[in-house]
Protein backbone atom coordinates (compact mmCIF):
# COMPACT_ATOMS: atom_id res chain seq x y z
CA UNK A 1 0.00 0.00 0.00
CA UNK A 2 1.19 3.51 -0.78
CA UNK A 3 2.45 5.49 2.24
CA UNK A 4 -0.05 7.97 3.69
CA UNK A 5 0.51 11.69 3.99
CA UNK A 6 -1.50 14.40 5.76
CA UNK A 7 -2.86 15.43 2.36
CA UNK A 8 -4.47 12.03 1.78
CA UNK A 9 -3.20 8.89 0.09
CA UNK A 10 0.08 9.33 -1.74
CA UNK A 11 -0.19 8.82 -5.45
CA UNK A 12 2.36 6.58 -7.13
CA UNK A 13 5.08 9.03 -8.06
CA UNK A 14 7.11 6.53 -10.09
CA UNK A 15 4.50 6.55 -12.85
CA UNK A 16 5.18 10.24 -13.44
CA UNK A 17 8.60 11.17 -14.75
CA UNK A 18 8.15 14.72 -13.46
CA UNK A 19 6.48 16.40 -10.52
CA UNK A 20 2.70 16.24 -10.74
CA UNK A 21 2.07 19.79 -9.68
CA UNK A 22 3.87 22.74 -11.16
CA UNK A 23 3.69 26.15 -9.50
CA UNK A 24 4.85 29.41 -11.08
CA UNK A 25 6.23 31.58 -8.31
CA UNK A 26 7.60 34.98 -7.41
CA UNK A 27 8.59 35.97 -3.87
CA UNK A 28 6.73 36.37 -0.60
CA UNK A 29 3.11 35.75 -1.74
CA UNK A 30 4.14 32.64 -3.63
CA UNK A 31 6.24 31.35 -0.75
CA UNK A 32 3.33 31.68 1.68
CA UNK A 33 1.01 29.89 -0.75
CA UNK A 34 3.54 27.08 -1.30
CA UNK A 35 3.93 26.62 2.44
CA UNK A 36 0.19 25.87 2.45
CA UNK A 37 0.38 23.69 -0.65
CA UNK A 38 2.97 21.33 0.85
CA UNK A 39 0.62 20.74 3.76
CA UNK A 40 -2.05 19.32 1.45
CA UNK A 41 -0.01 17.45 -1.18
CA UNK A 42 3.17 15.39 -0.87
CA UNK A 43 5.98 17.99 -1.15
CA UNK A 44 8.02 15.73 -3.45
CA UNK A 45 5.22 15.97 -6.06
CA UNK A 46 5.61 19.73 -6.35
CA UNK A 47 7.86 21.47 -8.86
CA UNK A 48 8.20 25.23 -8.46
CA UNK A 49 9.31 27.37 -11.40
CA UNK A 50 10.70 30.56 -9.89
CA UNK A 51 11.16 34.05 -11.30
CA UNK A 52 14.81 35.05 -11.60
CA UNK A 53 14.40 38.44 -13.26
CA UNK A 54 14.75 40.18 -9.85
CA UNK A 55 18.22 38.65 -9.47
CA UNK A 56 21.04 41.09 -8.98
CA UNK A 57 24.76 41.27 -8.31
CA UNK A 58 25.61 43.00 -5.05
CA UNK A 59 29.23 43.30 -3.85
CA UNK A 60 30.20 40.75 -6.47
CA UNK A 61 27.64 38.19 -5.23
CA UNK A 62 24.77 36.69 -7.20
CA UNK A 63 21.59 37.29 -5.20
CA UNK A 64 18.39 35.47 -6.24
CA UNK A 65 15.68 36.93 -3.99
CA UNK A 66 12.70 34.87 -5.16
CA UNK A 67 14.56 31.54 -5.16
CA UNK A 68 15.83 32.29 -1.66
CA UNK A 69 12.47 33.51 -0.34
CA UNK A 70 10.77 30.30 -1.51
CA UNK A 71 13.62 28.14 -0.17
CA UNK A 72 13.75 29.78 3.25
CA UNK A 73 9.95 29.75 3.62
CA UNK A 74 9.61 26.08 2.68
CA UNK A 75 12.42 25.37 5.16
CA UNK A 76 10.49 27.30 7.84
CA UNK A 77 13.46 29.64 8.26
CA UNK A 78 12.07 32.86 6.77
CA UNK A 79 11.81 36.15 8.59
CA UNK A 80 8.20 36.06 9.80
CA UNK A 81 7.26 39.72 9.24
CA UNK A 82 9.37 40.64 6.22
CA UNK A 83 8.73 37.40 4.38
CA UNK A 84 12.19 37.63 2.73
CA UNK A 85 15.52 36.94 4.41
CA UNK A 86 16.13 34.74 7.41
CA UNK A 87 14.56 34.73 10.83
CA UNK A 88 16.80 36.14 13.56
CA UNK A 89 19.05 37.78 10.97
CA UNK A 90 21.71 40.39 11.76
CA UNK A 91 23.25 42.96 9.39
CA UNK A 92 26.74 43.58 10.74
CA UNK A 93 28.57 42.78 7.51
CA UNK A 94 26.50 45.09 5.33
CA UNK A 95 26.88 47.85 7.94
CA UNK A 96 30.65 47.26 8.03
CA UNK A 97 30.71 47.60 4.22
CA UNK A 98 29.26 51.08 4.67
CA UNK A 99 32.60 52.14 6.16
CA UNK A 100 34.15 51.76 2.71
CA UNK A 101 31.41 53.77 1.06
CA UNK A 102 29.83 50.67 -0.52
CA UNK A 103 26.08 50.68 -1.22
CA UNK A 104 24.14 49.39 1.77
CA UNK A 105 20.54 50.06 0.68
CA UNK A 106 20.00 46.39 -0.22
CA UNK A 107 20.13 44.80 3.21
CA UNK A 108 21.96 41.49 2.87
CA UNK A 109 21.85 39.67 6.20
CA UNK A 110 24.93 38.07 7.75
CA UNK A 111 23.50 34.55 7.50
CA UNK A 112 21.85 35.15 4.12
CA UNK A 113 25.31 36.11 2.81
CA UNK A 114 26.39 32.48 3.16
CA UNK A 115 23.83 31.51 0.50
CA UNK A 116 25.09 34.21 -1.89
CA UNK A 117 28.75 33.30 -1.27
CA UNK A 118 28.06 29.62 -1.91
CA UNK A 119 25.95 30.26 -5.02
CA UNK A 120 28.42 32.74 -6.51
CA UNK A 121 31.37 30.39 -6.01
CA UNK A 122 29.50 27.42 -7.51
CA UNK A 123 28.42 29.49 -10.54
CA UNK A 124 32.01 30.71 -10.96
CA UNK A 125 33.15 27.07 -10.91
CA UNK A 126 30.81 26.33 -13.82
CA UNK A 127 27.64 25.00 -12.17
CA UNK A 128 24.32 26.17 -13.62
CA UNK A 129 21.78 28.06 -11.52
CA UNK A 130 19.54 24.98 -11.75
CA UNK A 131 22.30 22.83 -10.24
CA UNK A 132 23.18 25.30 -7.48
CA UNK A 133 19.51 25.73 -6.62
CA UNK A 134 19.18 21.96 -6.20
CA UNK A 135 22.20 21.98 -3.89
CA UNK A 136 20.87 24.88 -1.81
CA UNK A 137 17.36 23.44 -1.46
CA UNK A 138 18.78 20.02 -0.53
CA UNK A 139 20.93 21.63 2.16
CA UNK A 140 17.80 23.27 3.62
CA UNK A 141 15.84 19.99 3.49
CA UNK A 142 13.35 21.47 1.01
CA UNK A 143 11.54 18.63 -0.72
CA UNK A 144 9.77 20.33 -3.63
CA UNK A 145 11.90 20.70 -6.73
CA UNK A 146 12.79 24.36 -7.30
CA UNK A 147 13.70 25.34 -10.83
CA UNK A 148 14.86 28.79 -11.84
CA UNK A 149 12.79 29.86 -14.86
CA UNK A 150 16.04 29.99 -16.84
CA UNK A 151 19.76 29.48 -16.39
CA UNK A 152 20.26 32.47 -18.68
CA UNK A 153 20.30 35.99 -17.33
CA UNK A 154 16.97 37.84 -17.60
CA UNK A 155 16.71 41.20 -15.84
CA UNK A 156 13.66 43.33 -15.18
CA UNK A 157 14.22 46.95 -16.17
CA UNK A 158 11.74 49.58 -15.06
CA UNK A 159 11.50 52.87 -16.93
CA UNK A 160 10.38 55.63 -14.57
CA UNK A 161 9.23 59.21 -15.04
CA UNK A 162 11.62 61.71 -13.42
CA UNK A 163 9.48 64.68 -14.41
CA UNK A 164 11.71 66.15 -17.11
CA UNK A 165 13.12 62.85 -18.37
CA UNK A 166 12.75 59.07 -18.25
CA UNK A 167 15.26 56.82 -16.54
CA UNK A 168 15.70 53.05 -16.69
CA UNK A 169 16.17 51.44 -13.26
CA UNK A 170 17.07 47.92 -12.29
CA UNK A 171 14.23 46.16 -10.47
CA UNK A 172 15.85 46.32 -7.00
CA UNK A 173 16.83 49.97 -7.51
CA UNK A 174 13.20 50.87 -8.16
CA UNK A 175 11.68 48.55 -5.57
CA UNK A 176 14.10 48.73 -2.64
CA UNK A 177 16.34 51.79 -3.10
CA UNK A 178 13.51 54.04 -4.30
CA UNK A 179 10.68 52.24 -2.44
CA UNK A 180 8.59 51.86 -5.64
CA UNK A 181 7.98 55.63 -5.55
CA UNK A 182 8.97 56.79 -9.07
CA UNK A 183 6.00 56.49 -11.45
CA UNK A 184 6.39 53.60 -13.87
CA UNK A 185 6.33 54.20 -17.62
CA UNK A 186 7.40 50.79 -18.96
CA UNK A 187 8.68 47.38 -17.86
CA UNK A 188 11.07 45.22 -19.88
CA UNK A 189 12.71 41.87 -19.32
CA UNK A 190 16.21 42.31 -20.62
CA UNK A 191 17.56 39.08 -22.14
CA UNK A 192 14.21 37.27 -22.12
CA UNK A 193 14.07 36.90 -25.90
CA UNK A 194 17.39 34.98 -25.91
CA UNK A 195 16.76 33.01 -22.70
CA UNK A 196 16.06 29.30 -22.72
CA UNK A 197 13.77 27.70 -20.15
CA UNK A 198 15.86 25.93 -17.49
CA UNK A 199 16.18 22.16 -18.03
CA UNK A 200 12.97 20.48 -16.90
CA UNK A 201 10.70 23.55 -16.97
CA UNK A 202 8.80 22.78 -20.18
CA UNK A 203 8.81 19.05 -19.46
CA UNK A 204 7.32 19.67 -16.01
CA UNK A 205 4.57 21.90 -17.45
CA UNK A 206 3.78 19.31 -20.13
CA UNK A 207 3.62 16.44 -17.63
CA UNK A 208 1.91 18.25 -14.73
CA UNK A 209 -1.52 17.22 -13.61
CA UNK A 210 -2.18 20.83 -12.60
CA UNK A 211 -0.27 24.06 -13.05
CA UNK A 212 -0.73 26.66 -10.33
CA UNK A 213 0.01 30.33 -10.79
CA UNK A 214 0.83 31.52 -7.28
CA UNK A 215 -0.52 34.83 -5.92
CA UNK A 216 2.48 36.78 -7.18
CA UNK A 217 2.91 40.05 -9.02
CA UNK A 218 1.48 39.46 -12.52
CA UNK A 219 3.85 41.98 -14.12
CA UNK A 220 7.28 41.46 -12.56
CA UNK A 221 7.02 37.98 -11.01
CA UNK A 222 4.83 35.92 -13.36
CA UNK A 223 5.52 38.21 -16.37
CA UNK A 224 9.22 37.28 -16.68
CA UNK A 225 8.46 33.54 -16.48
CA UNK A 226 5.94 33.92 -19.32
CA UNK A 227 8.51 35.92 -21.29
CA UNK A 228 10.97 33.02 -21.45
CA UNK A 229 10.41 31.64 -24.97
CA UNK A 230 8.27 28.51 -24.93
CA UNK A 231 6.76 28.88 -21.46
CA UNK A 232 3.64 30.83 -22.41
CA UNK A 233 2.99 28.41 -25.29
CA UNK A 234 3.44 25.42 -22.97
CA UNK A 235 0.86 26.90 -20.59
CA UNK A 236 -1.57 27.73 -23.41
CA UNK A 237 -1.41 24.08 -24.46
CA UNK A 238 -2.41 23.06 -20.91
CA UNK A 239 -4.87 25.94 -20.35
CA UNK A 240 -7.65 23.75 -18.94
CA UNK A 241 -5.21 22.55 -16.25
CA UNK A 242 -3.89 26.01 -15.30
CA UNK A 243 -5.36 27.68 -12.21
CA UNK A 244 -4.22 31.01 -10.74
CA UNK A 245 -4.75 32.76 -7.43
CA UNK A 246 -5.36 36.49 -7.72
CA UNK A 247 -2.73 38.51 -5.83
CA UNK A 248 -5.13 41.49 -5.81
CA UNK A 249 -7.76 41.64 -3.08
CA UNK A 250 -10.44 44.35 -3.19
CA UNK A 251 -8.37 46.47 -5.58
CA UNK A 252 -5.17 46.38 -3.50
CA UNK A 253 -2.02 44.31 -3.20
CA UNK A 254 -1.37 42.40 0.00
CA UNK A 255 2.38 43.04 -0.22
CA UNK A 256 4.62 44.43 -2.89
CA UNK A 257 4.21 46.94 -5.68
CA UNK A 258 1.72 45.28 -8.07
CA UNK A 259 -0.64 48.28 -7.89
CA UNK A 260 2.24 50.66 -8.79
CA UNK A 261 2.89 48.58 -11.92
CA UNK A 262 -0.50 47.38 -13.13
CA UNK A 263 -2.21 50.79 -13.28
CA UNK A 264 0.43 52.58 -15.39
CA UNK A 265 0.64 49.58 -17.73
CA UNK A 266 -3.09 49.80 -18.40
CA UNK A 267 -4.17 46.83 -16.32
CA UNK A 268 -7.08 47.37 -13.95
CA UNK A 269 -5.83 46.91 -10.36
CA UNK A 270 -8.40 44.26 -9.52
CA UNK A 271 -9.05 40.56 -9.85
CA UNK A 272 -10.71 41.44 -13.19
CA UNK A 273 -7.45 42.98 -14.44
CA UNK A 274 -5.62 39.82 -13.36
CA UNK A 275 -8.25 37.71 -15.13
CA UNK A 276 -7.80 39.63 -18.40
CA UNK A 277 -4.02 39.22 -18.18
CA UNK A 278 -4.16 35.50 -17.46
CA UNK A 279 -7.15 34.46 -19.60
CA UNK A 280 -5.10 33.38 -22.65
CA UNK A 281 -3.28 30.63 -20.71
CA UNK A 282 -5.36 30.06 -17.59
CA UNK A 283 -8.83 28.52 -17.25
CA UNK A 284 -9.63 29.19 -13.59
CA UNK A 285 -8.94 32.10 -11.24
CA UNK A 286 -9.34 31.97 -7.48
CA UNK A 287 -10.56 35.36 -6.29
CA UNK A 288 -11.00 36.60 -2.75
CA UNK A 289 -14.30 36.54 -0.86
CA UNK A 290 -14.16 40.34 -0.77
CA UNK A 291 -14.27 40.26 -4.58
CA UNK A 292 -17.20 37.82 -4.86
CA UNK A 293 -19.29 40.65 -6.34
CA UNK A 294 -16.91 40.80 -9.33
CA UNK A 295 -17.19 37.12 -10.27
CA UNK A 296 -19.42 37.87 -13.29
CA UNK A 297 -16.86 40.37 -14.65
CA UNK A 298 -14.11 37.78 -14.19
CA UNK A 299 -16.22 35.17 -15.99
CA UNK A 300 -16.74 37.63 -18.86
CA UNK A 301 -12.95 37.57 -19.53
CA UNK A 302 -13.23 33.84 -20.28
CA UNK A 303 -11.81 32.62 -16.95
CA UNK A 304 -13.91 30.63 -14.50
CA UNK A 305 -13.96 32.43 -11.13
CA UNK A 306 -13.81 30.51 -7.86
CA UNK A 307 -14.26 32.41 -4.59
CA UNK A 308 -12.14 31.64 -1.50
CA UNK A 309 -10.40 33.27 1.45
CA UNK A 310 -7.06 34.29 -0.12
CA UNK A 311 -5.54 36.49 2.60
CA UNK A 312 -2.93 34.08 3.97
CA UNK A 313 -2.69 35.25 7.55
CA UNK A 314 -1.11 31.94 8.62
CA UNK A 315 -0.09 28.54 7.24
CA UNK A 316 -3.47 27.04 8.07
CA UNK A 317 -5.29 29.59 5.87
CA UNK A 318 -2.65 29.06 3.17
CA UNK A 319 -3.28 25.30 3.30
CA UNK A 320 -7.05 25.83 2.98
CA UNK A 321 -6.43 28.14 0.02
CA UNK A 322 -4.17 25.56 -1.63
CA UNK A 323 -6.86 22.93 -1.14
CA UNK A 324 -9.52 25.23 -2.65
CA UNK A 325 -7.23 26.02 -5.58
CA UNK A 326 -6.65 22.34 -6.35
CA UNK A 327 -10.35 21.56 -5.92
CA UNK A 328 -11.18 24.35 -8.37
CA UNK A 329 -9.69 22.25 -11.20
CA UNK A 330 -10.30 18.79 -9.72
Q: Where are the alpha helices (DSSP H) in the chain?
A: 28-40, 65-74, 92-98, 112-124, 129-139, 171-172, 201-207, 223-227, 231-237, 258-262, 271-278, 295-300, 315-328
Does 304 contact ligand FO1 by CB under 6 A?
no
Specify the residue, 106 or 140, whose C-beta has the smaller distance to ligand FO1. Answer: 106
Does 86 contact ligand FO1 by CB under 6 A?
no
Q: Which residues pair with 46 in a beta bridge?
A: 21
Distance CA 325, CA 302 (A): 18
Does 189 contact ligand FO1 by CB under 6 A?
no
Does 52 contact ligand FO1 by CB under 6 A?
no
Give, in order, the Cα–Cα distances in Å from 195 to each of 120, 208, 329.
20, 22, 31
Member of 123, 176, 254, 279 binding ligand FO1 (CB under 6 A): 176
Does 84 contact ligand FO1 by CB under 6 A?
yes
Member of 31, 86, 108, 275 binding ligand FO1 (CB under 6 A): 108
Q: Where are the alpha helices (DSSP H) in 213-270?
A: 223-227, 231-237, 258-262
Does 118 contact ligand FO1 by CB under 6 A?
no
Distance CA 68, CA 85 (A): 8
Give, in order, the Cα–Cα distances in Å from 295 to each of 102, 263, 270, 306.
50, 20, 11, 8
Does 305 contact ligand FO1 by CB under 6 A?
no
Specify the residue, 108 or 242, whose C-beta has the smaller distance to ligand FO1. Answer: 108
Q: Report the alpha-carbon angle 137-152-240, nearest 5.
A: 75
Specify the residue, 113 or 321, whose C-beta has the smaller distance to ligand FO1. Answer: 113
Q: Which residues pair with 57 in a beta bridge?
A: 62
Does 54 contact ligand FO1 by CB under 6 A?
yes
Does 112 contact ligand FO1 by CB under 6 A?
yes
Size, binding site for ligand FO1 by CB under 6 A: 17
Answer yes or no: are the C-beta atoms of 39 and 219 closer than 8 Å: no
Q: By beta-carbon distance, which residue lies closest to ligand FO1?
A: 27
Does 66 contact ligand FO1 by CB under 6 A?
yes
Does 182 contact ligand FO1 by CB under 6 A?
no
Compute the least distance from the CB of residue 172 to ligand FO1, in Å: 6
Distance CA 66, CA 207 (A): 24
Phi/psi at 3 (nearest 5 deg)?
-60, 150
Answer yes or no: are the C-beta atoms of 203 and 18 closer than 8 Å: yes
Does 85 contact ligand FO1 by CB under 6 A?
yes
Compute the least distance from the CB of residue 117 to ligand FO1, in Å: 13
Does 210 contact ligand FO1 by CB under 6 A?
no
Does 279 contact ligand FO1 by CB under 6 A?
no
Q: Report the alpha-carbon angle 266-270-275, nearest 5.
A: 80
Does 174 contact ligand FO1 by CB under 6 A?
no
Specify the residue, 33 or 175, whose C-beta has the smaller distance to ligand FO1. Answer: 175
The interface with ligand FO1 within residues 87-106 (CB under 6 A) comprises 106
For ligand FO1, the binding residues (CB under 6 A) are: 26-27, 54, 63, 65-66, 68-69, 84-85, 106-108, 112, 172, 175-176
Amino acid sequence: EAPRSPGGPRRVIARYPHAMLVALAGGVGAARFLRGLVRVVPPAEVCVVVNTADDETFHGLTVCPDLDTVTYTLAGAEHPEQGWGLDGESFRTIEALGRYGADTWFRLGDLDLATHLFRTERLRAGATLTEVTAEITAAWGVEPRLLPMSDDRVATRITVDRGDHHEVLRMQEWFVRERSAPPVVAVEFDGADRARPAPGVLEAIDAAETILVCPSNPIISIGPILAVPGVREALEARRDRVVAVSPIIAGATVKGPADRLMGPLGIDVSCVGVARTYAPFCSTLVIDERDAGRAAEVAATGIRPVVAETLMTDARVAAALARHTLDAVA
